[in-house]
């Protein structure tokens, strides 16, 4: 996967070059926030500038920073991996919509087992992360994998040591499939991990590295990190009872089956969505904009940028291990969200 790493470095370098020029070009769009979508926003920005002459000055400073900046009206849009609540959107006079989709996956290191060769259900996975299932040959896991010779080996849980949107997505899922997890651990960007045999890693890179070098380990990372590092992923049972693997199709299926407009600001949880093909641990990264923007011309340019990206940026997203939004959803965003923004 060296090609992926090189591509990411190239994209980041191009983005930094775009940012360096940004303040000097009046027509450039300003945005700030989540680090998760930074590589794809940078790639889109590079292609969009080549196509239109308009650049994007995006500050990859984290979701909280992006929310602070859009509230301070220092940028035309904010970006957050965790959706802002409806009441806060109303108070601030903002709209919110998803821009890109990714997934969080269970990764493991067990000798003799490759990607997809182990199956697990949500409740069993929750027991593993709680430490209630502490051995790989536990009867509950063995029952899901008939014919597989599981070793009498201790499970070492690898989790994030820092506050993380990936952890929020993962614990949101575990809370949805296990009442005990929901009641005792809960969901959040940082939680108290209950498994006695566990180790923390900083960033998705840290978790991926720890799983790769720790025999018998089980962790969770954004899909791109599992794919990039060739770490085996478990097949996970979805809400319809089907065992599915993470890929573009199963992520898109989760988004397609979601009732996005059931919550203000489209701020729904994408975990455990219905559908035979739907992957159960999926998340979106969101864009925040004002209904009555101070700079209407720049706000209009933001919508032009995302309209172009939705139409022309699908392959770029796939190349960087993101999942582009389905056309049916982007059409709804144009019709039901963007029409609330007064750019005239």
- Answer yes or no: are the C-beta atoms of 328 and 277 closer than 8 Å: no
Which helix (H) or strand (E) segment holds residue 196: the answer is: none
Domains of the chain: 2-103+259-268+282-340 (3.40.190.10), 104-256 (3.40.190.10)
pLDDT of the residue at 227: 85
Dihedral angle computed from the Cα positions of residues 217, 147, 250 and 181, in that order, rounded to the nearest 10 degrees: -50
Q: Is residue 286 over pLDDT 60?
A: yes
Buried b (16+ CB within 10 A) or exposed e, 288-325: bbbeebeeeebbbbbbebbebbbeebbebbeebbbbbb
In the chain, alpha helices (H): 2-22, 38-52, 63-71, 86-92, 122-130, 139-144, 165-177, 179-184, 203-213, 223-228, 248-256, 296-312, 314-319, 327-336
| 113-126 residue pLDDT tens | 999 999 999 999 99
Dihedral angle computed from the Cα positions of residues 44, 307, 57 and 76, in that order, rounded to the nearest 10 degrees: -160
CA distances (Å), 271 to each of 121, 170, 234, 282, 310, in order?
14, 9, 16, 6, 23
pLDDT of the residue at 2: 46
Alpha carbon 264 to chain centroid, angstroms: 20
Q: Are strands 243-244 and 235-237 parallel, antiparallel or unpaired?
A: antiparallel
| 225-250 residue pLDDT tens | 888 889 999 999 999 999 999 988 89
Instruction: Write out the two tokens for 227.
Output: 């794919």
Compute the distance between CA of residue 245 and CA of residue 113 in angstroms, rounded to an integer. 15
> How would residue 177 be classed by pLDDT, with cut points 50, 70 and 90?
very high
- Answer yes or no: are the C-beta atoms of 320 and 9 closer than 8 Å: no
Q: Is residue 158 over pLDDT 70?
A: yes
* Neighbouring-strand partners of residue 290: 94
pLDDT of the residue at 195: 96
| 179-211 residue pLDDT tens | 999 999 999 878 999 999 999 998 778 899 999
Rg (CA), the chain: 20
Q: What is the mean pLDDT of the chain?
A: 89
Compute the distance between CA of residue 187 and CA of residue 208 in angstroms, rounded to an integer. 21
| 18-75 residue pLDDT tens | 443 333 334 699 999 877 788 789 999 999 999 999 999 999 777 778 888 999 999 9
């Amino acid at each position: 996967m060296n090609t992926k790493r090189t591509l990411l470095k190239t994209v980041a370098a191009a983005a930094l070059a775009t940012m360096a020029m940004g303040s000097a070009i009046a027509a450039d769009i300003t945005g700030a926030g989540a680090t998760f979508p930074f590589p794809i926003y940078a790639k889109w920005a590079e292609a969009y500038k080549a196509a239109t002459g308009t650049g994007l000055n995006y500050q990859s400073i984290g979701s909280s920073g992006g929310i602070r900046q859009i509230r301070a009206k220092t940028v035309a849009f904010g970006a957050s991996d965790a959706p802002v609540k409806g009441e806060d959107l109303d108070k601030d006079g903002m709209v919110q919509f998803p821009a890109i989709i990714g997934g969080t996956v269970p990764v493991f290191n067990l000798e003799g087992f490759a990607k997809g060769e182990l199956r697990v259900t949500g409740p069993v996975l929750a027991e593993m992360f709680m430490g209630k299932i502490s051995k790989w040959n536990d009867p509950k896991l063995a029952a899901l994998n008939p014919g597989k010779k599981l070793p009498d080996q201790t499970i070492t849980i690898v989790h994030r040591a820092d506050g993380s949107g990936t952890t929020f997505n993962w614990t949101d899922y575990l809370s949805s499939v296990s009442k005990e997890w929901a009641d005792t651990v809960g969901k959040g960007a940082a939680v108290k991990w209950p498994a006695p045999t566990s180790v923390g890693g900083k960033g998705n890179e840290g978790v991926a590295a720890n799983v790769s070098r720790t025999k018998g380990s089980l962790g969770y990372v954004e899909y791109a990190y599992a794919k990039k590092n060739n770490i085996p992923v478990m097949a996970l049972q979805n809400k319809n009872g089907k065992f599915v693997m993470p890929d573009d199709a199963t992520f898109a299926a989760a988004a397609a089956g979601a009732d996005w407009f059931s919550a203000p600001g489209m701020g729904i949880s994408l975990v455990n969505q219905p559908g035979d093909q739907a992957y159960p641990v999926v998340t979106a990264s969101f864009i925040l904009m004002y209904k009555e923007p101070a700079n209407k011309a720049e706000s209009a340019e933001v919508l032009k940028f995302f309209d172009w990206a939705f139409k022309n940026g699908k392959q770029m997203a796939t190349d960087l291990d993101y999942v582009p939004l389905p056309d049916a959803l982007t059409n709804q965003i144009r019709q039901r969200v963007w029409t609330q923004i007064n750019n005239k």
